[in-house]
Chains A and B, each alone.
Chain A
Amino acid sequence: MNAMEQQTPILKVERLTKRYGSKEVVREVSFELNHGEIKVLMGPSGGGKSTLLQCINFLVIPDEGRVWLEGKEILHSQKKELYAYRQKVGMIFQDFNLFDHLTALRNVEIALLKVRKMSKIEARDRAVGELERVGLKEHIQKYPAQLSGGQKQRVSIARALAMDPKVMLLDEPTSALDPELITEVLSVIRALGAEGMPMILATHQIEFASDLADEIVFMEDGAVVESGPPARILSQAECARTREFCSKLTGLYGEGR
């Protein structure tokens, strides 16, 4: 990686805004995500975290704002360009959204075959590799309904990774999981971070966030209230609302792990 590449942020978002009727769900959000950087979105439910993440890869079309990937602006009206862009932005959903009619292996394979046009052998090798990487080697022939929540989420991570994403967007990846299953998913995400994958992660796991994040972005009512390194946001946030929210989260989840 040369110096030029290092300087351009991998993902840049400028004044993203999404309205439903007169309600602004995302309000003029701007940020830059650098190589290897991990940003954690925090804040109350309904605060716009999910919508923001989905605006970034245009699953929800923002009303205003611009997005750049590696310095190249993405025009969502150009379908081909949009589809190519989405391949490079891996997305993990709160409720996994595995394809219910396909085995774990086929879940990972299908986009390789249909989108990346890989050969069957190539796609199979890649899919098996990705599933091994998230520790699911013995489960590749199982259907989503036969997997636990944690396993499902790991399949969905493998599915995203198989597309060779430049960035990962994770929308509360552990919120739908039993406490016992959270760990296995978090450790996969942790490993991903350690490999230098740039990520934007919405979570309520405060301890995990403080461990992993380079920056915590606190959102409420669609707008970024405050952002900064975890140490500052979690312990001495400037904004009273941020402080209140963080202390509640610590009370709830802080002791668990």
Chain B
Amino acid sequence: MASVRPEVYPQDSWRVYPPSAAPAVQRLVKGDQGIEGRVEAEREFSDSLARVISSMQEYLTAVGDALPYLLQGVLVTMGLVVGAMGLGLALGIMLAVGLVYGPPWIRRLFNLYVWFFRGVPLLVLLFLFYFGLFTLVGINISAFNAAVIVLGLISAAYQSQIFRGGILSLPEGQLKAARALGMSETKAILFIILPQALRLSIPGWSNEYSIILKDSAVAYALGVAEVMARAHFVASRTYQHLPLYFTAGVIFLILTYLGTKALRVLEQRVRIPGYMR
């Protein structure tokens, strides 16, 4: 230790007091004022501690009050995610199969689809579909359903590339052997190619889960009452921005963790012994 000066109060280098108490601490450490000055500084110090504690309490109260409301949003968020992933899965598999085995015009068409939905920002697509397209065609659809569809369409574009990679990583002989047994191309793809390609796709697919989960927060712009929208709603009325958005963030982190974990378990369960770890 360089300093040998006996000190009652902590040095700046390991300060454990809130920044707002710094001036008071400075004065106390210097120790060159009279007794009144010391008393004044000590009171300032404990006041600033009290303020921090009370604002912490305020935060906690705000979180505690809003938590049930936010957690109801988890159901909506998960609804968006599961819906979009399901739609994206079904469409994505079709796209991938078409992209690998389809005739040239199908491949061109599907590539166009992928290009479009990967190229346009999510928010633009949400507004385009919800306020523009669906209204134009006269489809009366809830904001929630519109968000599921748009998230699903986008995810399909990304998922198609994940599955395409899975299909292409299989040896050519798999399809050959299936056809040699008299299977039609459709059967071979259904029973031989996809079960293997989908297994190989799970790691990439778990990425897609966390991406959709986070993207789903944008649905708040359509007024879907998911976690983010609820946090925004409460924060803008109570002015407790920090605790509410912090809590929303933590909820998303926990959902990401749980979902990724679940997919890891799935990956282990469908693992083929001695192959593909």
Residues of A within 8 A of B (CB): 54, 57, 59, 79, 83-87, 89-91, 93, 95-101, 110-111, 114-115, 142-146, 156, 159-160, 163
**Interface pick from B13-21, B63-71, B184-192, B205-213:** B184-192
Q: A93-B173, A101-B199, A115-B187 are in contact. Are A145 and B180 (CB under 8 A)?
A: no
Contact present for A110 and B176 (CB under 8 Å): no
Q: Which of A98, A144, A146, A163 contacts B182 (CB 8 A)?
A: A163
Q: Which of A59, A79, A89 contacts B176 (CB 8 A)?
A: A59
- Per the bound structure, the CA–CA distance linking A166 and B276 in Å amounts to 36
Interface check B275, CB cutoff 8 A: yes
Contact present for A86 and B174 (CB under 8 Å): no
- Per the bound structure, the CA–CA distance linking A159 and B178 in Å amounts to 11
Q: Which residue of A lies closest to B180 (CB)?
A: A91
Within 8 A of A (CB), among B242-277: 272-276
Interface check B171, CB cutoff 8 A: yes
Interface check B183, CB cutoff 8 A: yes
- Per the bound structure, the CA–CA distance linking A83 and B182 in Å amounts to 4
- Per the bound structure, the CA–CA distance linking A97 and B178 in Å amounts to 9
Interface check B195, CB cutoff 8 A: yes
Q: Which residue of A lies closest to B185 (CB)?
A: A79
Inter-chain contacts of A146 with B (CB < 8 A): 273-274
Interface pairs (23), CB distance under 8 Å: A59-B176, A83-B182, A83-B183, A83-B184, A86-B180, A95-B173, A97-B173, A100-B275, A101-B196, A101-B199, A110-B192, A111-B178, A111-B181, A114-B183, A115-B182, A115-B183, A143-B273, A143-B275, A144-B275, A145-B273, A146-B274, A160-B180, A163-B181
Q: Which residue of B lies closest to A111 (CB)?
A: B181
CB distance from B106 to the nearest CB of A (A): 18
The residue among B178, B180, B187 with the most chain A CB atoms within 10 A of its own CB is B180
Contact present for A115 and B272 (CB under 8 Å): no
- Per the bound structure, the CA–CA distance linking A145 and B180 in Å amounts to 21
Interface check B177, CB cutoff 8 A: yes
- Per the bound structure, the CA–CA distance linking A95 and B192 in Å amounts to 17
How many B residues are at the interface, by size bracket?
A: 20 to 34
Inter-chain contacts of A142 with B (CB < 8 A): 273
Q: Which of A96, A101, A156 contacts B272 (CB 8 A)?
A: A101
Inter-chain contacts of B214 with A (CB < 8 A): none
Interface check B179, CB cutoff 8 A: yes
Contact present for B274 and A145 (CB under 8 Å): yes
Inter-chain contacts of A87 with B (CB < 8 A): 181-182
Q: A83-B182, A143-B275, A144-B275 are in contact. Are A114 and B191 (CB under 8 A)?
A: yes
CB distance from A177 to the nearest CB of B (A): 16
Inter-chain contacts of B272 with A (CB < 8 A): 100-101, 143, 145
Contact present for A97 and B177 (CB under 8 Å): yes
CB distance from B113 to the nearest CB of A (A): 28
- Per the bound structure, the CA–CA distance linking A99 and B275 in Å amounts to 12
Contact present for A59 and B275 (CB under 8 Å): no
- Per the bound structure, the CA–CA distance linking A87 and B184 in Å amounts to 11
Inter-chain contacts of A99 with B (CB < 8 A): 174, 177-178, 192, 196
- Per the bound structure, the CA–CA distance linking A85 and B183 in Å amounts to 11
CB distance from B99 to the nearest CB of A (A): 22
In the A-B complex, the 9 residue pairs with the closest CB atoms: A145-B274, A87-B182, A97-B173, A97-B177, A145-B275, A111-B181, A91-B180, A86-B182, A146-B274
Q: Which of A86, A143, A145 contacts B181 (CB 8 A)?
A: A86
12 extra interchain contacts, Cβ-Cβ under 8 A, other than A59-B176, A160-B180?
A: A57-B180, A83-B183, A86-B180, A97-B173, A101-B196, A101-B199, A111-B181, A111-B182, A111-B183, A114-B183, A114-B191, A115-B187
CB distance from B260 to the nearest CB of A (A): 24
Contact present for A101 and B195 (CB under 8 Å): yes
Q: Which residue of A lies closest to B188 (CB)?
A: A114
Q: Which residue of A lies closest to B195 (CB)?
A: A101
Inter-chain contacts of B192 with A (CB < 8 A): 99, 110
Within 8 A of A (CB), among B214-238: none
Instruction: Render B77-118 as a binary contact track against A, CB cut-off 8 A, 1 for contact.
Output: 000000000000000000000000000000000000000000
Q: A114-B187, A145-B275 are in contact. Are A59 and B179 (CB under 8 A)?
A: yes
- Per the bound structure, the CA–CA distance linking A83 and B180 in Å amounts to 8
Contact present for B181 and A97 (CB under 8 Å): no
